[in-house]
């Protein structure tokens, strides 16, 4: 987990930062939080679900995109850091910046500690007038828009939870004979039967965001095969890496080793 530092004009006026290079920072994330505003872009690429947050009476459901299975790493991140998909969830695109709440519930822009640089390498945080550099300002605006939609998304998920249509999801994906199935623990889904059995008045309360979220989750289950395919890709890549390492050991570390094929 990154250590976040509040961006300060007084403390960081002359500091630079390292912009995000790929998505290695998310390589161990099994899920990513999602927003109502991006459901249409998520549906072609991700299976969606819910996880529980909070404790006891304060528990709530967080809608997420599934990124990994059976304790595996993020299957959408290539070993070189590239994202294996045409759309990246918005919750990952602001990195190395995020918004955090202060003790008095004011939101401040923060940066991952390991992206702050000494000297003039990287990109400046502030311009000569002491304002956030344009790229940082654009990221701040993006994060603020995401936060507004996050609140709407959480409200929609709260309505679904209150109506009792969210149930545990014992997800298991079969991988063929002789292979252990891929599993996910702690995941929840919409109970379609319970959704269809709601009385008219309760059903009417789901109009808008809650209903969009419910049906997006149900429709997205057709994308579970993408997780299995990405798992196969990573298994194949790992096997290729093992073969390469074995060849390196066979030939040794002599940098002078060459093959002369003649003219």
Domain spans, the chain: 4-249
Which among 52, 142, 56 is positioned nearest to 97, based on CA atoms?
A: 142
Global pTM value: 0.84
Whether the CB-CB separation of 169 and 183 falls below 8 Å is answered with: no
What is the model's pLDDT at position 238? Answer: 61
Tokens of 117: 């640089």
Q: What is the dihedral of CA 85, 135, 17, 93, to 10 degrees?
A: -20
Contacts of 162 (CB under 8 A, 6+ apart): none
**3-state class of 198 per DSSP?**
coil
Distances (CA, A) of 122 to 14, 17, 143, 245, 247: 12, 5, 21, 33, 37
What is the model's pLDDT at position 184? Answer: 76
What is the model's pLDDT at position 246? Answer: 41
On the CB side of 133, CA atoms within 13 Å amount to: 16
Q: What is the rounded CA–CA span in Å between residue 194 and residue 206?
A: 13
Q: What is the rounded CA–CA span in Å between residue 34 and residue 28?
A: 17
What is the model's pLDDT at position 263? Answer: 37
Treating both helix axes as pointing N-terminal to C-terminal, what angle do 209-220 and 134-162 enclose, rounded to 10 degrees? 90
Low-confidence residues of the chain: pLDDT under 50: 243-263
Contacts of 260 (CB under 8 A, 6+ apart): none
């Amino acid at each position: 987990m990154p250590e976040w530092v509040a961006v300060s004009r007084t403390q960081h006026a002359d500091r630079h930062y390292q912009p995000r290079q790929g998505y290695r920072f998310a390589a161990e994330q099994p899920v990513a939080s999602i927003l109502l505003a991006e459901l249409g872009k998520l549906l072609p690429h991700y299976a969606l679900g819910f996880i529980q947050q909070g404790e006891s009476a304060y528990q709530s459901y967080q809608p997420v995109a599934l990124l990994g299975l059976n304790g595996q790493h993020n299957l959408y991140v290539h070993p070189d850091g590239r994202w294996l998909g045409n759309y990246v969830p918005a919750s990952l695109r602001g990195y190395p910046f995020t918004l955090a709440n202060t003790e008095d519930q004011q939101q401040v822009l923060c940066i991952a500690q390991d992206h702050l640089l000494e000297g003039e390498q990287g990109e400046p945080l502030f311009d000569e007038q002491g304002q956030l550099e344009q790229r940082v300002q654009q990221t701040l605006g993006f994060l603020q828009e995401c936060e507004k939609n996050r609140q709407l998304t959480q409200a929609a998920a709260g309505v679904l939870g209150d109506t009792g249509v969210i149930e545990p999801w014992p997800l298991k994906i079969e991988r063929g004979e002789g292979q252990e199935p891929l599993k996910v623990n702690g995941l929840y889904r919409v109970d379609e039967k319970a959704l269809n059995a709601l009385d008219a008045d309760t059903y009417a309360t789901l109009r808008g965001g809650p209903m969009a979220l419910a049906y997006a989750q149900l429709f997205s289950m057709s994308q579970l095969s993408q997780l299995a395919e990405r798992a196969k890709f990573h298994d194949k890549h790992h096997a290729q890496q093992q073969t390469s390492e074995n060849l390196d050991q066979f030939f040794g570390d002599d940098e002078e080793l060459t093959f002369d094929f003649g003219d």
